[in-house]
Chain A
Amino acid sequence: GENVEQHPSTLSVQEGDSAVIKCTYSDSASNYFPWYKQELGKGPQLIIDIRSNVGEKKDQRIAVTLNKTAKHFSLHITETQPEDSAVYFCAANTNSGYALNFGKGTSLLVTP
């Protein structure tokens, strides 16, 4: 499938700091970009998403930005808390529209 590249693979921040995770995609037809949070032993949980007609979306401490020209989008978490520690996945819809291509994940650790 089309590639979704995600960086960094691991990220460690101190409580209260901000965390930024970046993704790039290759399919210019992609127009839906979700972010998932996965805690140990659980399924991925949709936390925020953005569509191509919007440049930024915010929900409390998390925000996502999209640059369609450059084909990249980012997740921003402000005022991080220990419970934000998890693996985060970005994704983009495929040209078929039905499926999602996922990045390989970022393991975020928030230390008190």
Chain B
Amino acid sequence: DAGITQSPRYKITETGRQVTLMCHQTWSHSYMFWYRQDLGHGLRLIYYSAAADITDKGEVPDGYVVSRSKTENFPLTLESATRSQTSVYFCAIRPKGHTYEQYFGPGTRLTVT
């Protein structure tokens, strides 16, 4: 158990609305990641964070904002949701003492209508 929770697990929102997906970890690991999963594209990195107050862009950051004021939380915000952001979103952590391994949360299925 990687100790990762994501909330909500399912969300339906309208185009143009702001929505925040939360990722919470229980073990104070430094590295946290946000991926989106779409058919035909696999998993693509949106943003990652090396520590509290340190974040960086991944492959597909446009339309997303992240913050990390506390080590255990890594929220992902869609400031003005678009239909193209309909996806399954996964948070991942890299445990302390590990160089590359990543462990994933259960995911949030987001539908933008």
Contacts and interface: CB of A to CB of B under 8 A. Distances in A.
Interface residues of B, number: 23
A45 interface: yes
B62 interface: no
B16 interface: no
Interface string A36-54: 1000001111100100000
A80 interface: no
B101 A93 contact: no
Contacts of A102: 42-44
Contact of B31 (A1, A91, A98, A104): A98
Interface residues of A, number: 22
Given A32-B99, A89-B43, A99-B48, A45 B58 contact: no
Given A99-B45, A99-B58, A102-B42, A43 B106 contact: yes
A1 B102 CA distance: 18
Interface of A: 1, 6, 32, 34, 36, 42-46, 49, 89, 91, 93, 97-100, 102-105
18 contacts: A1-B45, A34-B100, A36-B104, A42-B107, A43-B104, A43-B105, A44-B90, A46-B101, A46-B103, A49-B100, A49-B101, A89-B43, A93-B100, A97-B100, A98-B31, A102-B44, A104-B40, A104-B41
